[in-house]
Structure 1
Amino acid sequence: MRYKSWPYYADWVEVFGKDRATGQGAMGFTDAVNEVLHNNTEPIPVPTTPQHVPQYSFDPLHENLMETCSAQGGDNSCSSKGKRSLKRKRVFEAEDQIVSMLSSFCDNANERFSEFAKGAGFQNAAKEQRKAVYEELHLIPGLVTGQKVAVARYLCKNNDELDLFFSMDLDGKISMVQQILQDL
């Protein structure tokens, strides 16, 4: 439709009678009914804004306008605001649904990240425990470095043996290390 002529534009303006972009010539339902009933052929004057508007309290005018709008009913500018608010309400409801979905997604992601952090914490705890094994083996007299490494490997691979090793006193640890070295 771009660059096409509109030969019926003048007729359409006469039929539809209002410019939706600027609102000039806009006619409400009650105005149209009154025009048909009274056969007013006079054109509707376009309102102009005065250069200087005196400052008055408009509260009584606002109340009169609201009474007129509620008394007239129909499709005029006062009743169309209710329709707009319904559309906005629907948009807000959709936005609320999107926000709730995003917040539940973020909560789920937060739970997963917490689980990952716990897993990383477990790995750090295991690393610290391996260091502690090697430090405990330094307390046992008569072990050379190769024996300490072999016993540390064995204990780190067997978690039950590792727990038992840390639950014993020094004499029990010495006895356990000697048994491990005999089995290797």
Structure 2
Amino acid sequence: MWTPQEEDILAATLLELTATGWKSDNGFRAGYLSKIEDSLRAEFPNTDLKGNPHINSKIGAWKKSYGLLRSIMSRTGVGWNHHGDHKFDCSDDKWERIVQADKETKFMRNKSWPLWETWKTIFDKDRASGVAAEEIGAAAKSLHGQVSGGSQVHENDYHPSFEDFIPEPYTPVSNHNEPHDDSSKNSGKQASTTKTIPPKRKKPSPDAELMEFLGNLHERTDARLEMISKRIGYEFDMGQARQEVFDKLGTVEGLTLPQRYRLCNILGDKPQRLEVFIGMPANARLGYLLCLIEDEQKKG
């Protein structure tokens, strides 16, 4: 974002270039971006504004706004109000017709345009000469002096408006016949080689922390549900085995009916014994069951 002081220095420098013959029929001569960079750097040593894309984009946006303003001001019944705040004096019906003719003017009515006269000097095709050039140069020095008097104190005193968050369109300042300005690119490359700004480490946002928490909670929930499902499956298997234990005992030769009744209670009360019994080979089951009956008799 540009601060108001940086914009004033840009306007003052463009006025100086206009007064000193840098303005041509197709815009400004090659190298003008470097001149603006030098002016900004002299006033704001810590600025990171470069000819491309920052200055070129800002001038392009100014030129587009000036074209819209010139179209609006050419209509009858439209002018500046008497409050000195560079806002339009226009009826609602008139403004509605203006917006219908060009949708890009929709948000321009209630905004202040203090650079209107400056833009007229910078972007109109008439070249400054003689007395006009002296007047432009004096205006540039006056504007530059005003900014220099307060820029060191108010360099960071900037309060963005709603329009500042709308991306500025890129519009070339001159047509394709203008010589390409390589000096600003070279100066940009030199600056990039001498000054390296380490990337700032982004703090995790609350949303990211919440998503991480929910992800961990999801994993823990899945693990617990899996454990519960295994447990339920195990209990289900054991319950079914208890129901079938009498039939399984009937497959063991050598057991009497009273012994089978007694073993139903023994195996039903001890799931571990029931597991061992089910997992045993058939020829070993009788001996194991008789041992269980014998242990129960000793305890009794």
Q: What is the TM-score of this pair, normalised by structure 1?
A: 0.48
Please state which structure has a larger fraction of its residues in helix.
1
Q: Which has the higher contact order (CA 8 A, sep 6+)?
A: 2
**What is the TM-score normalised by the length of structure 2?**
0.32
